[in-house]
């Protein structure tokens, strides 16, 4: 009986931590990005040469969110190109996997912003295998921590 009670308490604590973590990630993300996670959808895509960060407004008429997404992702492309990953470190309250190598290999990685319908995308690419692996580790972490449901494998 003690074991069952212990397991139940552990499960309750894990659920409470998970909900608290998710809420904090969303709160810090909304603050850092300048738009609401409830009005937008994020995707993190893997590609053979790296991947992409995408965000779109859920409502096609929500020009404010669309414009905020485009402004934020334009800024992210510039920051990441310079080796500045403070935004994801702040949002997730830790250093996501891949970032140390992405900083070290910043000259090997290309970040390109492009507008897409209802939002924007940052394409991340490299021909350096170590850089590609780091980018994909970073994107897999984003997929998991933001619970986007995007594929974790190519």
pLDDT in tens, 38-63: 999 999 999 999 999 999 999 999 99
Question: According to the model, what pLDDT value does residue 152 have?
Answer: 97
Question: According to the model, what pLDDT value does residue 22 have?
Answer: 60
- Report whether 42 contacts 57 (CB < 8 A): no
Domain that holds residue 40: 2-145
Domain contains 136 = yes
Tokens 């935004």 locate to 87
In order of 55, 135, 147, the CA distances from 116 in angstroms are 9, 21, 22
Domain contains 38 = yes
Domain contains 153 = no
Domain contains 152 = no
Question: According to the model, what pLDDT value does residue 88 have?
Answer: 84
Dump pLDDT digits (tens) for 89-100. 776 689 999 999
Dihedral angle sign, alpha carbons of residues 79, 38, 56, 126: positive
Calculate the average pLDDT of the chain.
85
Question: According to the model, what pLDDT value does residue 124 have?
Answer: 98
For residue 146, give every residue at least 6 positions away whose Cβ sits within 8 Å of its Cβ, in sequence order, or none. 25, 42, 44
Q: What is d(CA 66, CA 57) in angstroms, rounded to the nearest whole number?
A: 5
As for how many domains the chain has, the answer is 1
Question: According to the model, what pLDDT value does residue 29 have?
Answer: 45
Domain contains 77 = yes
Q: What is d(CA 124, CA 136) in angstroms, rounded to the nearest whole number?
A: 10
Question: According to the model, what pLDDT value does residue 32 have?
Answer: 52
Joined tokens for residue 115 = 């507008």
- Report whether 73 contacts 55 (CB < 8 A): yes
pTM of the complete model beyond 0.85: no
pLDDT confidence band for 17 (50 / 70 / 90): very low
Q: What is d(CA 45, CA 142) in angstroms, rounded to the nearest whole number?
A: 10
Domain contains 15 = yes
Question: According to the model, what pLDDT value does residue 9 have?
Answer: 44
Domain contains 150 = no
Question: According to the model, what pLDDT value does residue 53 have?
Answer: 98
Domain contains 108 = yes
Mean pLDDT calculated for residue range 75-103: 92
């Amino acid at each position: 009986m003690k074991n069952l009670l212990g397991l139940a308490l552990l499960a309750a604590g894990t659920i409470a931590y998970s909900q608290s973590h998710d809420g904090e990630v969303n709160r810090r993300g909304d603050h850092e990005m300048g738009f609401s996670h409830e009005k937008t959808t994020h995707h993190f895509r893997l590609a053979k040469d790296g991947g992409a960060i995408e965000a779109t407004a859920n409502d096609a008429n929500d020009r404010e969110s669309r414009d905020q997404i485009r402004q934020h992702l334009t800024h992210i492309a510039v920051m990441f190109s310079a080796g500045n990953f403070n935004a994801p470190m702040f949002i997730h309250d830790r250093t996501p996997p891949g970032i140390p190598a992405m900083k070290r290999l910043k000259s090997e990685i290309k970040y390109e912003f492009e507008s897409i319908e209802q939002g924007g995308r940052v394409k991340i690419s490299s021909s350096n295998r170590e850089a590609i692996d780091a980018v994909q580790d970073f994107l897999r972490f984003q997929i998991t921590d933001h619970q986007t449901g995007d594929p974790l494998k190519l």
